[in-house]
């Protein structure tokens, strides 16, 4: 008997994919310019039509900061809010290059597998 529903599994899979890609996405933005977390979250939300919404970004930010991938570029106070701008470090650029390469390789491999699956389906249909 399966534990949990397909909906639960789908939600967990989606969450795991987001977690895996969050660092790459944040570092990609910071590789272009210094930004606040609020700016990054807004862009991710708008450009993905809400699909890449990150609920708790500060755990990722603190982890990347602790690992030396990002650092505080500056702080500003506006409308009684403190805005912290982050920037990518040289170590963060190296890490981004590495994980982006892994992502591209994985994406290519998945495409090749799915094309093969489609081919198997076409061959099966042609036999019938």
Q: List the CATH number of the domain containing 81.
A: 1.10.10.10
Q: 55-59, 83-87, 91-95: which has the minimum mean pLDDT?
A: 55-59
- Determine, yes or no, domain membership for 1: no
Residue of 24, 114, 115, 34 whose CA lies nearest to 64: 24
- Determine, yes or no, domain membership for 62: yes
**Domain count of the fold of the chain:** 1
75-97 burial by CB neighbour count: b if 16+ within 10 A, else e? Answer: eeeeeeeeeebbebbeebeebbe
Tell me the pTM. Answer: 0.78
Question: Tokens standing for 115?
Answer: 């094309």
- Determine, yes or no, domain membership for 106: yes
DSSP 8-state secondary structure symbol assigned to residue 2: -
Contact 95, 69 (CB under 8 A): yes
Mean of the per-residue pLDDT values of the chain:
88
Please tell me the predicted confidence (pLDDT) of residue 127: 72
- Determine, yes or no, domain membership for 40: yes
Q: Which residue has the higher pLDDT, 115 or 20?
A: 115
pLDDT bucket at 3, cuts 50 / 70 / 90: low
**Residue 107 domain boundaries:** 6-127
CA–CA gap between residue 24 and residue 97 (Å, rounded): 9
């Amino acid at each position: 008997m399966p534990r949990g529903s397909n909906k639960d599994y789908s939600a967990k899979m989606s969450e795991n994919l987001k977690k895996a890609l969050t660092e790459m996405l944040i570092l990609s933005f910071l590789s272009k310019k210094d930004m606040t977390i609020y700016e990054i979250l807004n862009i991710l939300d708008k450009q993905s039509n809400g699909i890449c919404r990150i609920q708790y970004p500060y755990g990722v930010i603190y982890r990347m900061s602790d690992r030396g991938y990002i650092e505080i570029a500056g702080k500003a106070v506006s409308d009684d809010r403190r805005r912290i701008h982050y920037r990518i470090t040289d170590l963060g650029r190296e890490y981004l290059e590495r994980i982006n390469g892994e992502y591209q390789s994985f994406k290519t491999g998945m495409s090749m597998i799915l094309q093969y699956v489609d081919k198997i389906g076409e061959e099966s249909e042609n036999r019938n």
